[in-house]
Amino acid sequence: MDKFVIKGGHPLTGSIATGGSKNAALPALAAALLTAEPVILRRIPKVRDIRTMQRLLVDIGSKVEGGPESVRIETPEITSPEAPYELVKTMRASSLVLGPLAARAGRARVSLPGGCAIGARPIDLHIAGLEQLGAVIYQSHGYVEADASQGLRGATVHFDKITVTGTEDLMMAATLAEGTTILENAAREPEVADLADLLMKMGAKIEGAGTSTIRIEGVQRLGGADHTIISDRIEAGTFLIAGAITRGDLLVTECPIEHLSALIVKLQQAGAEVTQQDAATLRVRSSGALRSVDITTEEYPGFATDLQAQYMALMTQAEGIAIVTETIFENRFMHAQELARMGANIRLDGRRAFIAGPRELTGAGVIASDLRASASLVLAAMAARGETVIDRVYHIDRGYEKIEEKLARAGAQIERAD
């Protein structure tokens, strides 16, 4: 199992490029199931979760051809409308095929995701929404089965809780439903708007994506499209925090600046200099003392929960006590204990973490527990004195493409060891 070996104390300099968004690419791949015609997707990140989704599409009946710049998906026929437990247990985003399969094939059998390191994460809102669109739902043997052999019908779906993939799943299903669907209290994440852009290129009729009310008028059939995926705001945010925590001077390019306002404000309040160089380049510099600044994670456009762990690592180096409140997931502080092993002073109290700093971090053996927790450990290790060995980096490979190579080119002392 791969590990990262990191020697800390090296400020990041030069530039680092942001790749395509994992969380925009996953629903875009599922959307290709809605048509028999080819869908070409560009800037798909080469990360493990994407490979899992591509394998799932092939199992379902798609032909998937990956090139250096793009992926071509063609699904003349859905031969097996199923997402098996073996795949769903490794990546819960597999449940994104539920809506497209029910809409295109009239039925779907998808494994229920089960528990996750960061929280319960049920898909009850996906299922309830599909039921409102007229699907008959059965649950047995760990699977949800949706029968939509009579076709789906438009309806008004109000989400009790804002859900990103729930919004995406229902939006996809509604594109082929008879009549109009209104999604209320929908997620406003940029990945939802990017998916709507793709669906509209395929011929869907969608209004209001990116707002909390989305209106979809169903059509008979969808066609093919050629779509470039947006940049990954979470990867870019991770690099901005890396520049600040290492006291570096770093350019983050291909950066979706407009999707990062909540983070940029907090970094500036903490004393890092974050300046725009051009339409898609941010410069982050930090030399003096950092100040502790509280955050509360929220749905977009609030502070992203997927940047909380990385931000916590930064606050271990800030003067004062920072309070980090996690409102989206009930168990997303696994990284705190590992940061404490490196010398951080963090006290947990339910969904709040109190980080007292600055504390010198020293290199240690630590274990990654999930995707963003592992990114937080990489950042802490780059700021620590001495050598850190991070175990189970397969977590980070799920969502960051060759992160060690990107960071090494910007001056980090980081190696992947088998």
Which residues make up the interface to ligand EPZ (CB under 6 A)?
A: 23, 26, 93, 119-126, 161, 163-166, 191, 305-306, 328-329, 371-372, 399
Q: Cα 23 to chain center, whole Å?
A: 4
Q: Cα 132 to chain center, whole Å?
A: 27
Cβ closest to ligand EPZ, residue 121 vs residue 359: 121
The type of residue at 214 is: I
Q: Determine the 3-state secondary structure of 405 from DSSP.
A: helix
Catalytic residues: 116
The least CB distance from residue 363 to ligand EPZ, in Å, is 25
Cβ closest to ligand EPZ, residue 97 vs residue 125: 125
The least CB distance from residue 48 to ligand EPZ, in Å, is 12
Q: Which two tokens stand for residue 247?
A: 């006291």
Q: What is the DSSP letter of 151?
A: -
- Kindly tell me the number of DSSP H helices and DSSP E strands found in the chain: 14, 25
Task: State the alpha helices, DSSP H only, in 177-298.
Answer: 190-201, 233-245, 261-269
The least CB distance from residue 71 to ligand EPZ, in Å, is 17
Q: Which two tokens stand for residue 59?
A: 């199992």
The least CB distance from residue 297 to ligand EPZ, in Å, is 8
Cβ closest to ligand EPZ, residue 61 vs residue 119: 119
184 and 143 Cβ atoms separated by less than 8 Å: no
Cβ closest to ligand EPZ, residue 49 vs residue 74: 49
Q: Which residues make beta-bridge pairs with 323?
A: 354
Which residue bears the tokens 């996690």? Answer: 326
C-alpha 218/C-alpha 380 separation (Å) is 48
The type of residue at 255 is: C
Cβ closest to ligand EPZ, residue 121 vs residue 215: 121
The continuous run of DSSP H or E covering 136 comes out as strand 136-140
168 and 27 Cβ atoms separated by less than 8 Å: yes
Cβ closest to ligand EPZ, residue 8 vs residue 20: 20
C-alpha 177/C-alpha 122 separation (Å) is 24
Residue among 199, 190, 407 nearest 301 (CA): 190
The least CB distance from residue 26 to ligand EPZ, in Å, is 5
Q: Strands 290-291 and 295-296, how do they pair?
A: unpaired
C-alpha 308/C-alpha 408 separation (Å) is 23
C-alpha 291/C-alpha 141 separation (Å) is 52
The least CB distance from residue 299 to ligand EPZ, in Å, is 7
Strands in 107-111's sheet, in edge-to-edge order, are 82-83, 107-111, 143-147, 136-140
Cβ closest to ligand EPZ, residue 74 vs residue 299: 299
Q: Which two tokens stand for residue 299?
A: 């749905």
The least CB distance from residue 223 to ligand EPZ, in Å, is 25
324 and 353 Cβ atoms separated by less than 8 Å: yes
What is 42-86 written as a DSSP string? ES----HHHHHHHHHHHHHT-EEEE-SSEEEEE-SS-S--EE-HH
The least CB distance from residue 240 to ligand EPZ, in Å, is 17
Looking at the chain, how many residues does it have? Answer: 418
